[in-house]
Amino acid sequence: MEILVCARRVPDTSENEIALNSAGNDIERDELVFSINEADNYAVEEALQIVAKVGGKVTVVTVGGEDDEEVLRREMAMGANQGVLLSDEAFTGSDGRGIATILKAFVQKGNYDLILTGIQAEDGAAQVGGMLAAMLDYPFASLVNSIEILDGRKLKIGREIEGGNKEMNEIDLPCVLSIQTGINEPRYVGMRGVRAVATVPIPTYGAPELDLNAATVGAAAAKVRRVDYFVPQVGNGAEMLKGSREENIEKLVELMAAKGGVK
C-alpha cells in the first residue's frame, strides 16, 4: 500500500510555555523548541505498521521551509521511506484551504492508496485532512483510532466519539483519514537513527513543479487570517499559594480537610 502522511513541525507544548511577546500581539518565539506535531507522529507510526503488515511504502510530506526538513528526517529515522518538502515563497501565509490545495497538487503527482494526517496541530483547527479529501473527492474520516485492512480495497476504521465510545465504519480506498492521538505507541527514535538519515536528500517542490497556480495559495488567497494572539482574563482565576513548598502543603491539607478530602 502506498501511504502518504501529511505532517507538520510545530512548537512543542510539552517543552515550551507558550506566552505572549512583549508587544502583546504574537507568541514569544525566541527559544521555542519545535518538534513534529504529536498527532502526525501517531499517523506516521500507523502508516509504518500498515506497511509492515501488507507491504508498500510510506512517504511523509510537509509544507514549510528548510527548518521543517528536521521533522521529515525524524520520521524517516522512524522508518518512513521518503520525506518530501513542499516549499515556495508563494505558500507563505496560506490558510487551511491553501495548505490543502498545495497537498492536493502533490497527491495528484503520485499514486497513493491512503493519505493520513494528524487530527489537529497546534492551532486546533482539525481542518486540512477533511479539506484535502473533499478536493480529491476521496472519502474521509476524522478522529480515527483504529484501522484494519479489509479485502477489496476497503478499510474498517474506528472513530473516537464522545464518552470514549467508538464508531466503526467501512471506508473505500483511496481515502483520507485524520488520526487521533493514542491510536498506537509510536516507536522511539534515537540519535543514531536520526544520524543515519542525516544526509539522505529530501526532494523539494515549489509551485511550478506542482503545476500549482500560485494565486490559489498563500496570503493573498487566504480567506482566514490570524490577526493577533492574546491572553484573555477568564473569571477570577485560582488563588495562588505562593509560600514555600512546606507552607503550601500545610495550607493545602487544611483546605482539603475543609472540603472533605482529608478524613
Indicate whether 134 belongs to the interface with another protein (CB under 8 A): yes
Q: Which of residues 23-42 bind another protein (CB under 8 A)?
A: 27, 42
Q: Which of residues 224-243 bind another protein (CB under 8 A)?
A: 224-232, 234-235, 237-241
The half-sphere exposure of 139 on its side-chain side, counting CA atoms within 13 A, is 15
Among 23, 55, 152, 163, binds another protein (CB under 8 A): 163
Indicate whether 196 belongs to the interface with another protein (CB under 8 A): no
Indicate whether 56 belongs to the interface with another protein (CB under 8 A): no
The CB-of-198 to another protein minimum distance in angstroms stands at: 28
Indicate whether 8 belongs to the interface with another protein (CB under 8 A): no
Contact region with another protein (CB under 8 A), list: 58-66, 82-90, 117-125, 193-201: 117-125
Among 122, 189, 197, 216, binds another protein (CB under 8 A): 122
Q: What is the maximum span of the chain, computed from C-alpha positions, in angstroms? A: 71
254 phi/psi in degrees, rounded to 5: -60, -50
Please state the separation of Cα 148 from the chain's center in Å. Answer: 22
Helix axes of 128-136 and 96-107: crossing angle, nearest 10 degrees: 50
CB 137 within 8 A of CB 175: no
Distance CA 258, CA 256 (A): 5
* 7 DSSP β-pair partners: none
Among 23, 67, 185, 199, binds another protein (CB under 8 A): 185
Indicate whether 250 belongs to the interface with another protein (CB under 8 A): yes
